[in-house]
């Protein structure tokens, strides 16, 4: 017969509620008792019933994760970090693709509520007030990753998006480029669009290049969209010698467009990406990019959510993580002395 | 006050067990009653408690998914298909990276048991007898995707791996290549290694090229491993003019190695990949590859698991899905008349 929590309590000579606490809040149980309980669990090969356990502890040890689309390699790196942290802390992850669709997202939140997840992580999307209200109404502890909110008091893990955009464009300027365009996320309703564009504009302005701030086209997420945006950008501005793209996926789309036009990167046009996704150092040409510590960001987001769930608050509300310029083969200096193609 | 299942039953003028059946097995309830219950649920804005609901129905409406590593774009495409099917059928997915590690995998299976998942999907790994025994012991309905088992009677969704490998190599031979090598998954303990290698050898043999069947090096999963394997392959066999790689990720690693050696693809060496991952048509050069219908395979695997959970059996045990040769820019014909570089 399968052992029950009563059998464990009897063997360990403690109360049933102590066994329950060892499983759900071990830090509240004295070391000696905890050891006895764990030994009894092991000897009896006791497996708690997760559903019954949930009814006792009100914990499901499950976290809900909302990401725009798992096929984007940026998110799969973030999720890998989340998963490793979750495993360490004893959680499972329920991962859902929102497609940045409001209705779909709210329906997932309600599903998380039905499944009684302990908390949620919301990634890379603009936190609309309707989302925030749903999170409040359903009383979820929540953490944002690669996004943040100024309107609401909600913990987040993110790079300094504006400074990172500035650093990307400054790299192009230091390489002698003046005719610089951008492929950006939408300025309306996206998280990274506005600050990365602001970084682009600030770098242009500081160098007397304001006139290029209108050399910008937009894409949502995929290679193919960036390919189309590059077609528009270079049709309007054939004189550009460099492009800052808001993601490595966009950089790959732009480079693909230019290759199809017989324009070499970095020979004729330099391209700098953003994210340093896993394939950035393998594709041809290897991408110059702004690295985000994506795996660590996923890891930190789960740790922060765990802190929020277990203590009711977080020490640092808006966590800023460092970015880094990585120079590879997709950008080229055109300063005199380096100007041979 | 929050409405309960009793309130719903009272308003719909049915028994509590009828309400429960509407939520868990709606097909067993007469249309008219079902409509009244759904209307009452809507009017009262009733939200069932998932845990309590699970205790009644013994269903968690959650499926466990075991994949080697979510960062591999092949799996993120498969998972996207799984997720869309799961949403249609009312399931959530718990996704876990096994890293093809036996201990990690067994511990996930036990975690799935504790969480009472309704069934599991096991992707792209060799079904060891220890895994099969754990699945049997924990009484999980299970489906395999991009893998299958001849030893055990377990439903699966997969392409014809041997034929697909053969078709890839035949394409190279039809393009006039004779000095052909391969970057393969391990022949021991991997699912796709042996049949794709067998397809390679069969195509060579049929064309009197058996001697090249030893021109093979191995990699597990990543670009970087394929890059190293390519270094070994071309050091031993500098005369190769074509390489068949067991994945598009491997193809990208091989092309990166060749580029670093100043060897052009397809100018000097042709490379054919496998999978047709999302970026296959964007990278430079665009990859010639064998397409697997990955999204559909994920979708079908969830449908098959649902069939198994709800009916206790499946109509087709081993589902074979069609593959397709897609010719792009990474392979080149070297037949006379086409031999200019």
ipTM score for this prediction: 0.80
> Is residue A298 pLDDT above 60, yes or no?
yes
CB–CB contact B54 A51 (8 Å): yes
- Of B21, B18, B57, nearest in space to B309 by CA: B57
pLDDT band at B31 (very low <50, low <70, confident <90, very high): confident
**Domains B62-158+294-321 and B161-291 fall in the same CATH topology:** yes
Its CATH architecture, for the domain A5-57, is: Orthogonal Bundle (1.10)
Q: How far does the CA of residue A65 sit from the closest CA of chain B (Å)? A: 11
The mean-pLDDT minimum among A8-22, B72-86, B241-255, B289-303 falls in: A8-22
Q: What CATH number was assigned to the domain covering residues B161-291? A: 3.40.50.2300
- Are residues B69 and A83, on separate chains, in Cβ contact within 8 Å? no
Is B71 close to A77, i.e. CB distance below 8 A? Answer: yes
Distance from CA of B8 to the nearest CA of A (A): 17
Q: Which residues have CB under 8 Å from A19's CB, separation 6+?
A: A5, A8, A9, A12, A37, A41
On whether the B62-158+294-321 domain is CATH 3.40.50.2000, my answer is no
Q: How many Cα atoms are found within 13 Å in the side-chain-facing hemisphere of B330? A: 34
pLDDT tens by residue, A163-197: 999 999 999 999 999 999 999 999 998 899 999 99
pLDDT at A341: 44
Tokens of residue B339, six digits: 């031999």
Residue with tokens 């896993």: A278
DSSP state of A246: S
Q: Do A50 and B283 touch (CB under 8 A)?
A: no
Residue A86 pLDDT greater than 50, yes or no:
yes
Q: What is the mean pLDDT of residues B305-332?
A: 97
What is the pLDDT at residue A51? 44
Which of chain B's residues have a Cβ under 8 Å away from the Cβ of A49? 114, 116
Strand duo B324-326 + B289-291: pairing: antiparallel
Which percentage of chain A shows pLDDT scores above 70?
93
Q: Which candidate from B71, B227, B255 shows the least CB-CB separation from A76?
A: B71
Are A52 and B55 inside 8 Å of each other by CB?
A: yes
Q: Which residues contact B26 (CB under 8 A, 6 or more apart)?
A: B34
Report the percent of chain B where pLDDT is more than 90.
Answer: 67
> Cβ–Cβ of B83/A70 closer than 8 Å?
yes
Q: Which residues of A touch B227 (CB under 8 A)?
A: 282
- Structural contact between residues A152 and A132, judged by C-beta atoms closer than 8 angstroms: yes
Nearest chain A residue to B278 by CA: give it.
A71
- Tell if the CB–CB gap between B70 and A70 is shorter than 8 Å: yes
Is B78 a residue whose pLDDT tops 70? yes
- For residues B49 and A138, the model is more confident at A138
**pLDDT: is A35 or A148 the higher one?**
A148
A197 vs A340 pLDDT, higher one: A197
Q: Tell me which chain A residues have a C-beta less than 8 angstroms from the C-beta of B77.
A: 71
Give the CA distances from residue A105 to residues A72, A133, A147, B129, B188, in Å, rounded to whole numbers and listed in that order. 18, 13, 16, 40, 43
| Confidence tier at B341 by pLDDT (50, 70, 90) | very low
Q: Per-domain residue ranges for chain A?
A: 5-57, 62-158+294-321, 161-291
Contacting residues of B for A114, CB less than 8 Å apart = 47-50, 53
CB B86 within 8 A of CB B37: no
Residue in chain A nearest B71 by alpha carbon: A76
Q: Helix, strand, or coil here: A333?
A: coil
DSSP codes of every residue in B253-305: HHHHHHHHTT--TTTT-EEE-SB--GGGGTSSSPPBEEEP-HHHHHHHHHHHH
Question: Length of chain A in residues, anyone?
Answer: 341
| Beta-carbon-side half-sphere exposure of residue A254 (alpha carbons within 13 Å) | 38
Reported confidence tier of residue A47, pLDDT bands at 50, 70, 90: low
pLDDT at residue B158, as a whole number: 96
Q: Which residues of chain B are within 8 Å of residue A83 when distances are taken between CB atoms?
A: 70, 95-97
**Taking CA atoms, what residue in B is nearest to A256?**
B282
The pLDDT of B141-152, averaged and rounded, is 94
B49:A116 CB<8 A = yes
Range of lowest pLDDT (A79-88, A92-101, B154-163, B274-283): A92-101
Task: For residue A263, name the pLDDT band (cuts at 50, 70, 90).
Answer: very high
At residue A48 the predicted structure's pLDDT band, cuts being 50, 70 and 90, is low
pLDDT value, residue B340: 45
């Amino acid at each position: 017969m399968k052992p029950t929590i009563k059998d464990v309590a009897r063997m360990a000579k403690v109360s049933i509620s102590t066994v329950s606490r060892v499983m759900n809040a071990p830090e509240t149980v004295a070391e000696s008792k905890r050891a006895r309980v764990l030994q009894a669990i092991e000897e009896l090969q006791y497996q708690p019933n997760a559903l019954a356990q949930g009814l006792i502890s009100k914990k499901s040890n499950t976290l809900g994760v909302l990401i725009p689309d798992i096929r984007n390699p940026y998110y799969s790196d973030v999720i890998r970090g989340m998963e490793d942290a979750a495993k360490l802390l004893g959680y499972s992850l329920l991962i859902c693709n929102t497609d940045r669709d409001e209705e779909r997202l709210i329906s997932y939140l309600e599903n998380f509520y039905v499944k009684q997840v302990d908390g949620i992580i919301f990634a890379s999307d603009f936190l609309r007030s309707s989302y925030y209200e749903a999170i409040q109404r359903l009383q979820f502890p929540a953490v944002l990753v690669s996004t943040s909110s100024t309107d609401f008091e909600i913990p987040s893990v993110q790079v300094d998006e504006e400074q990172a955009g500035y650093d990307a464009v400054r790299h192009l300027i230091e390489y002698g480029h003046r005719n610089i365009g951008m492929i950006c996320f939408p300025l309306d309703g996206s998280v990274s669009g506005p600050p990365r564009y602001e970084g682009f504009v600030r770098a242009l302005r500081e160098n007397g290049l304001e006139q290029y701030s209108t050399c910008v086209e937009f894409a949502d997420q995929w290679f193919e969209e960036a390919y189309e945006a590059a077609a528009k950008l270079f049709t309007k501005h054939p004189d550009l010698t460099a492009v800052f793209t808001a993601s490595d996926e966009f950089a790959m789309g732009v480079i693909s467009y230019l290759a199809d036009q017989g324009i070499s990167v970095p020979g004729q046009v330099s391209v700098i990406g953003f994210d340093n996704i896993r394939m950035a150092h393998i594709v041809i040409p290897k991408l110059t990019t702004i690295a985000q510590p994506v795996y660590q960001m996923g890891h930190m987001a789960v740790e922060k959510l765990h802190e929020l769930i277990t203590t009711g608050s977080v020490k640092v509300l808006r966590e800023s993580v460092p970015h880094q310029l990585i120079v590879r083969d997709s950008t080229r200096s055109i300063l005199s002395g380096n100007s041979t193609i």
